[in-house]
Structure 1
Amino acid sequence: MSIAAALDVDTAWETVVDDAPVAVHAAAGLVAVAGADGTCWVLTGSTGELVGTVTLPGGIFAAQLSPDAEHLALAGPFGHALWKRATDTTVIAKTGAWSGAVRWAGPDKVAIASGRRAVVLAPDGRELWAIEPAPSTVTDLVWYREGRRLATAAYNGVRCYERHSARPVVEYPYLGSHLALAVAPTGRWICSGNQDASIHIWRTRDGGDLTMSGYPDKIARIAFDDTGYWFASDGAPDITVWDFSGSGPEGTRPRTLRAHETVTALAWRPGGAGILASAGAEGTLALWRATSGSAGARLHPAHARELDQAVTALTWAGSDLLVTADWQGRVQASRLPEALPR
């Protein structure tokens, strides 16, 4: 049974881009589709109509629209770029430093991982401040405390910076290479997904920490839902969903979701309803009631379908529109009902 048949899904639009998408991001009525070779297409969320394109020489790893969708930030193996919607122009394109992550803090500033540093830019490309060099390449970064504090991941731990501080104001050590970083919307927890197939967790108020290890593969995709109480990660083949309510996940077991051979994308539906979308290298797209059942439960997809090609990236454009992109460049936006059948 397909998702479309079971949920009476409307395909809002479909288009094809001339590249293999590596990232999609939606904000304020626009969708950015970033291709591996360095072109990013900006589309309208309602119709898929092309708004503009921007190119980052050498390729793209990450793309994120500002919350008002007036600007777009790109990061890739040879640098980063900023794009301005009003004029469909590249504000800045800087090459020379490996750049793997971009994060906006409201519409007025964006943090970019640039080699061993993180730089914070204004939308017009002006550098507002930068951190001192980390021990190794900054692999991910995220804002918290309503954009007043920036957390960065590099070898041997997470370092946090206040506005205009080059040196960290707090450090959370953990020996190893960190691939992904997430902070709970509540600000209570910082988590890293790691090369050594583990998740490390710090409690921000006192630095208390724990490690969840034993995954079959490295952890490269992690995300909190909007409530900050639920945390999902890859680690192949299962997705694990941990309960961060109360005193946190220590001593508990996760819910496990199995529908993929290797997870290629996952994203929580906005609104805190416990719905997770995921995709796998084998070509399966799945929707989950990911917080149902009890601790330790193995959950089955609420609905899943086999696609012609593997989805490489997905994002929610609001709570009712799921945008997927496959490795051959097909981008599809599907409208989903509020509730999933049981």
Structure 2
Amino acid sequence: MPTVAPLDLEGHVVAAHFLGDTPFFATAAGEIRRLDGGEKVTEAHNGLLTCVKDPFSAALLTGGEDGKVMRIAGDGTATQIAEAPRKWINVVAGGPQGAVAYAHGKSSVVVLADGSAKEFAEERTVEALAFAPKGLRIAAARYNGVSLHWVNTQLPAADLDWKGAHTGVTFSPDGRFLVTTMQENALHGWKLDGKAGEARHMRMTGYPSKVKSYSWSPKGKWLATSGAPAAIVWPFSAKDGPMGKAPLELGTRANILATCVAFHPVEEVLAIGFIDGMILGVRVGDGKEALLRRPGKGAITSMSWSSNGKLIAFGSEAGDCGVIDISA
């Protein structure tokens, strides 16, 4: 049976992440707490709005109500990347070659490793940003679609249009697909490697609730999502992705919503957090389930695996969080 080391923090836990095998917890008050031979605290913001793991480096990236964009290193050191006075920074993303992106209002800004910045004007408010896995290309999700920018060229943005509000954005690990979460209970996707004139849209609908969490399997074969009383897992291994294929439903629980999903770093094993605080581990191949945590005080809002795949850090909206050791 997995063991759970609980950690009670005041207020909402915005994110739980690992840098290597050290767990970090970011609170809405602006503290970054890490469990590294005891609990240690970094004061990052006066009000923290977002905290993401940089997929291209061993660091966390944060944005706050104080208009600052910060990089948090594995030892807890906080370095300011950018500042937009009197703006709330709730969208940040990490990219290749040390690039960091953030957004406020109708502007996307990319800060390069040398400190220089490039700003891209959007027609509507930027809701989410993501870097492509290769090349310095950024996707900005907004109302009625996504804008794709090559950071180091003067080329105009490529627009991917689909009516409605797009609230999250992610590239598949191989860069062949782009998927957004929407304000309505749906995902929308585009096939980026199709021939000119090919139908590129992918509609992924049928959710009873909004999709707020998603996670790619290690090799990009599957995209797991929250928003239903199970994890909805879409197949992306075929050349047309999930078009014409039904998703898997893993960890089904009657009328209890899955609120957070996180794939194991190496294996096709999915951690699923629910609105009642329960966490299940499910193997994609056969649907075999393991109870990782019993229900708690609040909905699971964030989960992350350690680099060795033996630990899961989790956070909830009630502040009851902790670390699960699945090797126990």
Please tell me the TM-score bracket, short chain as reference: 0.7 to 0.9
Deviations 1:230-280 (A, max 9, x none): 011122223211111123211111111223723332111101x21111111
Looking at structure 2, the residues matched to 282 and 323 of structure 1 have their Cα atoms a distance apart, in angstroms, of: 17
1:222 touches 1:233 (CA, 8 Å); kept in 2? yes
Name 1:138's counterpart in structure 2.
126
Question: In 2 relative to 1, CA 236–177 (structure 1 residues): closer, same or farther, beyond 3 Å?
Answer: same
Alignment of 1:1-342 (within 5 A): 5=1, 9-11=2-4, 14-44=6-36, 47=37, 49-50=39-40, 52-65=41-54, 67-69=56-58, 71-77=59-65, 79-83=67-71, 85=73, 88-91=77-80, 92-106=82-96, 108-122=98-112, 126-132=115-121, 134-165=122-153, 168-206=156-194, 208-247=200-239, 248-257=241-250, 258-259=252-253, 261-271=256-266, 273-289=267-283, 291-293=284-286, 299=287, 301-310=289-298, 311-318=300-307, 319-337=309-327
2:33 touches 2:39 (CA, 8 Å); kept in 1? no
Looking at structure 1, the residues matched to 7 and 143 of structure 2 have their Cα atoms a distance apart, in angstroms, of: 40
Q: Which amino acid aligns with 1:37?
A: A
What is the RMSD of the two structures over their aligned residues, measured on CA atoms?
Answer: 2.8
Question: In 2 relative to 1, CA 10–166 (structure 1 residues): closer, same or farther, beyond 3 Å?
Answer: farther
Report deviation, 1:82: 1.1
Looking at structure 1, the residues matched to 314 and 94 of structure 2 have their Cα atoms a distance apart, in angstroms, of: 22
Deviations 1:34-68 (A, max 9, x none): 11233222443xx4541x41332233233335754
Question: In 2 relative to 1, CA 187–317 (structure 1 residues): closer, same or farther, beyond 3 Å?
Answer: same
1:32 touches 1:65 (CA, 8 Å); kept in 2? no
Deviations 1:300-341 (A, max 9, x none): 633354233233321112111111123343442222249xxx
Looking at structure 1, the residues matched to 311 and 60 of structure 2 have their Cα atoms a distance apart, in angstroms, of: 20
Report deviation, 1:128: 2.4
Looking at structure 2, the residues matched to 95 and 263 of structure 1 have their Cα atoms a distance apart, in angstroms, of: 37
Question: Does the residue aligned with 2:164 lie in a helix, a strand or coil?
Answer: coil
Question: Does the residue aligned with 1:174 lie in a helix, a strand or coil?
Answer: strand
Deviating beyond 6 angstroms after TM superposition, the runs of 4 or more aligned structure 1 residues are none
2:63 touches 2:70 (CA, 8 Å); kept in 1? no
Question: Does the residue aligned with 1:286 lie in a helix, a strand or coil?
Answer: strand
Deviations 1:135-185 (A, max 9, x none): 222111111142521111111111111123576542211111112212111
2:226 touches 2:258 (CA, 8 Å); kept in 1? yes
Report deviation, 1:286: 0.9
Instruction: Give identity over the alignment, percent.
Output: 25
Question: In 2 relative to 1, CA 179–276 (structure 1 residues): closer, same or farther, beyond 3 Å?
Answer: same
- Equivalences, count: 317
Report deviation, 1:23: 1.0
Question: In 2 relative to 1, CA 147–111 (structure 1 residues): closer, same or farther, beyond 3 Å?
Answer: farther
Gaps of 5+ in 1: 294-298
2:137 touches 2:149 (CA, 8 Å); kept in 1? yes
Name the stretch that deviates more: 189-198 or 220-229.
Answer: 220-229
Report deviation, 1:77: 4.9
Looking at structure 1, the residues matched to 33 and 140 of structure 2 have their Cα atoms a distance apart, in angstroms, of: 28
* TM-score, normalised by the number of residues in structure 1: 0.82
Question: In 2 relative to 1, CA 84–215 (structure 1 residues): closer, same or farther, beyond 3 Å?
Answer: closer
Question: In 2 relative to 1, CA 21–108 (structure 1 residues): closer, same or farther, beyond 3 Å?
Answer: same
1:181 touches 1:222 (CA, 8 Å); kept in 2? no
Question: Does the residue aligned with 2:23 lie in a helix, a strand or coil?
Answer: strand
2:271 touches 2:281 (CA, 8 Å); kept in 1? yes
Looking at structure 1, the residues matched to 38 and 128 of structure 2 have their Cα atoms a distance apart, in angstroms, of: 29
* TM-score, normalised by the number of residues in structure 2: 0.85
Looking at structure 1, the residues matched to 212 and 219 of structure 2 have their Cα atoms a distance apart, in angstroms, of: 22
Q: Which amino acid aligns with 2:263?
A: W
Question: In 2 relative to 1, CA 17–166 (structure 1 residues): closer, same or farther, beyond 3 Å?
Answer: farther
1:179 touches 1:219 (CA, 8 Å); kept in 2? no
